């Protein structure tokens, strides 16, 4: 399952950014993620998987807040970089379809929000 692997990655990245390390007595309320449109993440199912893998960690019960980032392609012909919003990629400058995707598949943990009281 695609989302399970992602949930584990998110958990590892969020644990690494906990103040005081993974054993700190804190609780995380929200995790902000940036996901490229091509990562094709289904928020509800990612949340379900995350709930499972985050059990018994400081991230147990944390909500995932996902911001979708655009797909950026670079034209192989004229080197122009443009946002790709259609299903078929093409260059905004010259119309070529030889597009190299330079951004849009990544998933990054942007920020974590700690709960105010334990
Ligand atoms: Zn071009």
Report the CATH number that the domain containing residue 29 is assigned in CATH. Answer: 3.30.2320.50
pLDDT value, residue 78: 98
Residue 74, classed as helix, strand or coil, is: strand
pLDDT value, residue 118: 52
> What CA–CA distance (Å, rounded) separates 73 from 7?
27
Q: Ligand 1 mean position to 41 CA, how many Å?
A: 29
Q: Which residue has the tokens 């399952």?
A: 1
pLDDT value, residue 49: 97
Q: Ligand 1 mean position to 68 CA, how many Å?
A: 25
Q: What string of pLDDT tens digits covers the 118 residues of the chain?
A: 589 999 999 999 999 988 876 666 789 999 999 999 999 899 999 999 999 999 999 999 999 999 999 999 999 999 999 999 988 999 999 999 999 999 999 999 999 999 876 5
Q: Ligand 1 mean position to 87 CA, how many Å?
A: 17
- From 104, 99, 93, select the one nearest 70 (Cα to Cα): 104
Which residues, chain by chain, have CB under 5 Å from ion ligand 1? 75, 77-78, 80, 91, 93-94, 96
28 belongs to a structural domain: yes
25 belongs to a structural domain: yes
Residue-number span of the structural domain to which 50 is assigned = 2-70+103-114
Q: Which residues pair with 68 in a beta bridge?
A: 35
What are the backbone angles phi and psi of residue 47, rounded to the nearest 5°? Answer: -60, -45
- Tokens standing for residue 74: 């670079």
pLDDT value, residue 97: 96
15 belongs to a structural domain: yes
Q: Ligand 1 mean position to 67 CA, how many Å?
A: 28
Residues in the chain: 118
60 belongs to a structural domain: yes
How many domains is the chain built from?
Answer: 1
85 belongs to a structural domain: no
pLDDT value, residue 87: 86
19 belongs to a structural domain: yes
What are the backbone angles phi and psi of residue 79, rounded to the nearest 5°? Answer: 65, 10
94 belongs to a structural domain: no
């Amino acid at each position: 399952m695609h989302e399970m692997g992602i949930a584990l990655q998110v958990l590892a990245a969020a644990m690494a950014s906990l103040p005081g390390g993974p054993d700190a007595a804190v609780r995380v309320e929200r995790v902000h993620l940036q996901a490229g449109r091509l990562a094709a993440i289904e928020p509800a199912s990612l949340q379900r998987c995350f709930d499972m893998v985050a059990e018994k960690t400081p991230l147990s019960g944390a909500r995932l807040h996902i911001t979708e980032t655009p797909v950026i392609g670079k034209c192989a012909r004229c080197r122009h970089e443009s946002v790709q919003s259609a299903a078929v990629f093409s260059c905004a400058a010259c119309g070529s379809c030889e597009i190299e995707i330079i951004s849009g598949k990544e998933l990054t943990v942007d920020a974590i929000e700690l709960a105010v009281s334990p």
